[in-house]
A and B are shown apart, each in its own frame.
Chain A
Amino acid sequence: MTVVGTTPPPRLPVRDRTTAHQRAGGGVSPMLTRLAEERATGVLDREHGTLHLVEGRVVHAESPLAPGLGMLLTLHGTLDAETWQDAEGSADEGRLLRHGVTPGALELAQASALYDAAYFALAPSSTPGRFRYGTAHWLASVHPVPVAALERETLRRRALLRRIWPDPATDAAPLIRADPVAAPAVPPRQAAVLARVDGVRRAADIARELGRPAFHTLVHLRRLAAAGLVSPQPPPAAEDHPPDDAAADPYVALLKRVRDALEAL
């Protein structure tokens, strides 16, 4: 009897998510990982924001979706708007420190603003990023952050939001208040966000008005959505349909929210 040795069939390719993740440098931005490796200095423009690098570390970040350092400092009176404009105009960090902002407060606010804007700047984008080599940002020495730490934190933040409430709709859409029958008590910092939900404002608008990091506002809104107090404004097309009686029933509304959450998992 002849035994024909057959070679085992080749293994089907299986996407190994963990290694793919590591290869892509955390899977946030391969370009940024490369810039960190070559210790580049300059400005990385991405679809939703800008990262300033000095010798491969991120020293500053800006995003139209996040209030900047100036807004954080001036809105609550830590600094007057004129002093901020002078400091920014002359790119002089010393002016901030001479006008009552302590080094500790400046570092705290700058670090907070940096991680905040970077979260949006590193969001998945539909257009490629562009890097311009150049000089250091004027706030470069306040709180530089290694790229790997920033990417890890950005991924952790995405996971945190998903864990609170998996539906990302409240992050970007105009928001409406949903008044459930038995509303749970709302903690003060969330209540400040809830008070500004009016059917027009989006998360970014509320963050700017409160002078609060935009990611914090996203966290508060996801918690409010999970509690059934806030929901995204439905798209206008829905208005063409006759009003749905079922939508008014709190139990149907609850079931819909559970369904949406399960679908989003």
Chain B
Amino acid sequence: MPGIDECLLETMRLPGARGAALVDWTSGLALGTVGDPPGGDHETAAAEAAELARLAAEQHAFGPGEGADAGDPPVEDVILSNRDSYHVLRFVPTTFDSSVFLYLWLARADGNLALARIRLGEMAERLVLG
């Protein structure tokens, strides 16, 4: 997979995908965006999703139990649902110091949450590992 935009376009091929972004959760920066922005504005949506990702990544209680490899961050993904859509945040592990996640906004009527979760995990890995 060549780069950020290609990865996001691939994400948009998931059934029900409305919009996608690659976001840095420390700064709130959207490194790339495609499709429609949740809430009407990609930058604001990215900053707000970053805040949610940060809370999830920093709380001790959400990490794996004793003995398991904690990882950086200790959380794999965050899933939020409302009446008409899902928001799926997938943390991207990198070999250098970073804090990014893939963010998918998925229509509830057409989307398949289980499939989206699996594919986002695959894409997060392929983005940095090739």
Contact = CB atoms under 8 A, between A and B. Distances in A.
Contacts of A156: 28, 43, 47
B72 interface: yes
Interface string B67-110: 00010100000000000000000001011111110000000000
A147 interface: no
Contact of B3 (A78, A107, A112, A216): A107
Interface stretch (B12-20, B111-119, B122-130): B122-130
A68 to B, nearest CB: 12
A76 B96 CA distance: 5
A109 B100 CA distance: 11
Interface in B22-39: 22, 24, 26-29, 31
A200 interface: no
Nearest to B74: A188
A215 B58 CA distance: 18
Interface stretch (A50-58, A98-106, A237-245, A252-260): A98-106
Given A156-B28, A156-B43, A188-B72, A212 B97 contact: yes
A143 B126 CA distance: 18
8 contacts: A104-B4, A104-B7, A108-B98, A153-B29, A156-B47, A188-B72, A189-B58, A219-B27
Interface of B: 1-4, 7, 22, 24, 26-29, 31, 43, 47, 57-60, 70, 72, 92, 94-100, 126-130
